[in-house]
Each structure stands twice: as C-alpha cells, then as structure tokens.
C-alpha cells in the first residue's frame, strides 16, 4: 500500500509548519501530493491556506507575497483577499468587473500546539486532542524537531509503534542489545485508536540521568504507547522513581508516497526551565536521527495483508496498525 491508494487519509489533519514560521511571507507545503500555500494576511491574523495554484495561469502562489492584506500572485499580480476572492486584476484597471471564478481553492487550516495543521479533504475528525500538550495542562510543551524524511508515512508511524527495534536501532543512544526481550503486552483498540502499556528496566545514560533527575544506572520505566490517529503518536514515558512523565508526540505528515514531514514535540510534568530544553531535546533528536537513517532505506510500500510478512509476539501493536490502515482503505 502507498498512501495515495487510501483516499480516506485526505480527511485527516496534518501539521505542515510551526505556527511561528507562518507569516505574511507565503510558505509552500505538500500533503498527499497536493501543493498548498499557507500564509497570514497580517502579522497577527490567523493562518490561511489554499491550493498552491493560481486560477489564472497556474503560477505557484507560494512564490508571491502579501500586500495590504492580500495575497499577490507573482505572475500577473492578481490580488486575493483572506477569503480567497480575487479583488484586483492589475491588467484590467481598477473599475473592471472581476470574473466570479477568480477565486482561490481554500484548504482547511487551523493552529494548535504551536503548529499549523491542514486537511486537504473533508475533515472526518477534529485535530487530535493531546491532553498534555494543551496550554492549561500543567505540562511544559517543548518543540524538538520538524524534518523531511525520505520514507513513507506508514513506515514512520510503524516504527514509532514498534518497541522491539529500540535495543538495535538505538544501541548508541537509549537502547542496549543486552536487554532485547519484550514482555507480553495487550493492545487495546477503540475505533482507529490503539494503545498498550509496557514496563521495563531502562538503562540510564549520563545524559538521561541529568535529563530525568534519576541518578541510578537503571530505572523502572512504564511506557504507554498510543496511536491517536493514523499518523499521530503519543507515548508517555513514566518514571515511578520520581513521578516524571516525559510525553512524546510524533506526527508523520504524508507529503507524498515516498516522503514524510516528521514532527516531534514533548510535554513534561517537571516543568524544566528553558535553559534545560536543549539538552532534553538533543537526546530525542539523536534517537530520531537513528530512525531516519534506517527508514530512509526501507521501501515505501507498506503491506496491509497480514499474511505477507512475518510477525512475532512483540509485533502485536504493528500488526494491529496494519489492520487500522486496511480498514481505512475500505472507506
Ligand atoms: S497566474 Fe496568477 S495572476 Fe496570472
Ligand atoms: Fe526508534
């Protein structure tokens, strides 16, 4: 399966940019092979989005600019207001009638968790509610990375849901091949959502000791893994030793069949001061760089037929993920 073969995926929300990165300078983004322009009509205005193609002669509006609250096409200078209506055609002069079809094709857009999200279809659900990332949660939200990966979005999310790769892919950071075993766990399914909980003894590197405030060489760690929507992951790393909850959010925006915009942010209940954020984020970034390097060489094709791959008990979650995508494929 390639993402283009599941039309229902167009009806979900995906992050495309940091909210702070969307300004009155238009930005090009791409979701499920659809080119979208995102911009603000004014510095403090809401993010706006439309298909990145001018209705006149198909120029990329993301190469244009904003003037007096209007998006200006770089080809013949047509002006589009914040509702997408053309309000000026310079070649016609100020008094000429504007064809009613001179209209941008709007794209659903919203801002949440410091991100601009778009939906290139008809939304089948709201932007996922991520409790710990909400402003009034009592947790500190820290953005860690947004990066283009040469891997398909199902492969990226499959990797996030897969626990048995950690001792191997992350042997130089947070994993150790000395403890490769995965205890039995049960996957709960609720509609398209999946979750399971696993407890294990984690090796604590020197950097992890600093980041967690736990001084022992190993620590009990409870991990709650959740598929929130087809390409949104929430993972809670809970340390009973001191009550720390390090909540990881990973989103995999399907750019096209072979490319994914990966975004990761965390929420912490120990409210680390800003001067500690970089050290905390750098460990997570190193871990993600290891996943990116591995996934860059895994085929984009993602089998949904359970019989076409080999599975073991540790793969229960990723087997269930294939069933979720298979169900979406029939919508
Ligand atoms: S192509 Fe946009 S104004 Fe002509
Ligand atoms: Fe990983």
In this structure, the residue with its CA closest to atom 1 of ligand 1 is 57
Q: Which run of H or E residues covers position 267?
A: strand 259-268
Ligand 1 atom closest to the CA of 76, numbered from 1: 3
CA-CA distance, 224 to 219, in Å (whole number)?
16
pLDDT of residue 16: 98
Neighbours of ion ligand 2 (CB under 5 A): 291
- Is 154 contained in some domain? yes
Residue 75 CA, ligand 1 centroid: distance in Å: 5
Binding site membership of 75 for ligand 1 (Cβ less than 6 Å): yes
Same-domain check for residues 177 and 317: yes
Same-domain check for residues 226 and 297: yes
Residue 73 CA, ligand 1 centroid: distance in Å: 6
Binding site membership of 73 for ligand 1 (Cβ less than 6 Å): yes
| DSSP assignment letter at 244 | E
- CATH of residue 214's domain is 3.90.380.10
Last residue of a domain, one of 59, 87, 119: 119
- Is 301 contained in some domain? yes
Residue 166 CA, ligand 2 centroid: distance in Å: 6
Same-domain check for residues 143 and 114: no
Residue 148 CA, ligand 1 centroid: distance in Å: 29
Give the residue, out of 52, 54, 63, 79, with the most ligand 1 atoms within 8 A of its beta carbon, to mutate for a pocket test: 54
Ligand closest in space to the Cα of 170: 2
Give the residue, out of 75, 91, 98, 99, with the most ligand 1 atoms within 8 A of its beta carbon, to mutate for a pocket test: 75
Binding site membership of 200 for ligand 1 (Cβ less than 6 Å): no
Ligand 1 atom closest to the CA of 89, numbered from 1: 3
CA-CA distance, 314 to 187, in Å (whole number)?
11
pLDDT of residue 200: 83
Ligand 1 atom closest to the CA of 61, numbered from 1: 2
pLDDT of residue 208: 86
Three-state secondary-structure class, residue 161: coil
Same-domain check for residues 26 and 167: no
Residue 72 CA, ligand 1 centroid: distance in Å: 9
Binding site membership of 57 for ligand 1 (Cβ less than 6 Å): yes
Same-domain check for residues 110 and 138: no
Residue 289 CA, ligand 2 centroid: distance in Å: 9
Residue 85 CA, ligand 1 centroid: distance in Å: 13
- Is 322 contained in some domain? yes
Same-domain check for residues 176 and 320: yes
Same-domain check for residues 12 and 151: no
- Is 87 contained in some domain? yes
Same-domain check for residues 218 and 177: yes
pLDDT of residue 173: 83
Last residue of a domain, one of 73, 95, 119: 119
Three-state secondary-structure class, residue 317: helix
Last residue of a domain, one of 119, 153, 182: 119
CA-CA distance, 78 to 61, in Å (whole number)?
10
Same-domain check for residues 142 and 276: yes
Q: Which run of H or E residues covers position 283?
A: helix 274-295
| DSSP assignment letter at 169 | H
Binding site membership of 61 for ligand 1 (Cβ less than 6 Å): no
CB 140, CB 268: distance < 8 Å: yes
49: containing domain: 3-119
Mean pLDDT in each 10-residue stretch from start to end of the chain (331 residues)?
98 98 98 98 97 98 98 98 97 92 98 98 97 97 97 98 92 81 91 94 85 91 96 97 97 98 98 94 94 98 95 95 97 89
- Is 161 contained in some domain? yes
Token pair listed for 263? 């975004």
Residue 96 CA, ligand 2 centroid: distance in Å: 59
Nearest to 14 by CA among 157, 131, 144, 187: 157
Same-domain check for residues 102 and 135: no
CA-CA distance, 75 to 236, in Å (whole number)?
49
Number of structural domains (the chain) is 2
Please state the pTM of the whole predicted model: 0.96
């Amino acid at each position: 399966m390639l993402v283009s073969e599941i039309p229902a995926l167009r009806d979900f929300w995906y992050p495309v940019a940091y909210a702070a990165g969307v300004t009155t300078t238009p930005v090009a983004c791409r979701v499920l092979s659809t080119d979208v322009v995102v911009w603000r009509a004014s510095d403090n205005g809401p993010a706006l989005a439309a298909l990145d193609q001018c209705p006149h002669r198909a120029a990329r509006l993301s190469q244009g600019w904003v003037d007096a609250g209007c998006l200006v096409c770089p080809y013949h200078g047509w002006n589009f207001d914040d509702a997408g209506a053309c309000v000026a055609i310079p070649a016609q002069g100020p008094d000429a009638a504007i064809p009613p079809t001179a209209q941008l094709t709007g794209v659903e857009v919203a801002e949440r968790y410091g991100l601009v999200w778009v939906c290139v279809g008809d939304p089948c659900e709201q932007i996922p509610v991520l409790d710990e990332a909400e402003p009034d949660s009592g947790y500190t939200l820290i953005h860690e990375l947004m990066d283009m990966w040469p891997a398909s979005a199902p492969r990226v999310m499959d990797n996030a849901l897969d626990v048995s790769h950690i001792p191997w892919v992350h042997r130089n950071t947070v994993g150790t091949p000395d403890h490769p075993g995965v205890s039995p766990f049960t996957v709960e399914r609720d509609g398209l959502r999946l979750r399971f909980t696993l407890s294990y003894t984690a090796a604590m590197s020197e950097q992890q000791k600093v980041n967690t405030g736990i001084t022992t060489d190993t620590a009990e760690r409870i991990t709650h893994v959740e598929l929130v929507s087809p390409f949104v992951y929430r993972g809670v790393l809970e340390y009973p030793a001191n009550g720390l909850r390090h909540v990881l959010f990973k989103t995999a925006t399907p750019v096209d069949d072979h490319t994914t915009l990966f975004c990761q942010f965390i929420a912490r209940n120990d409210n680390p001061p800003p001067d500690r954020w970089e050290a905390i984020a750098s460990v997570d970034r190193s871990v993600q760089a290891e996943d990116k390097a591995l996934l860059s060489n895994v085929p984009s094709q993602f089998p949904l037929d359970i019989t076409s791959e080999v599975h073991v008990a540790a793969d229960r979650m990723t087997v269930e993920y294939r069933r979720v995508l298979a169900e979406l494929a029939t919508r």
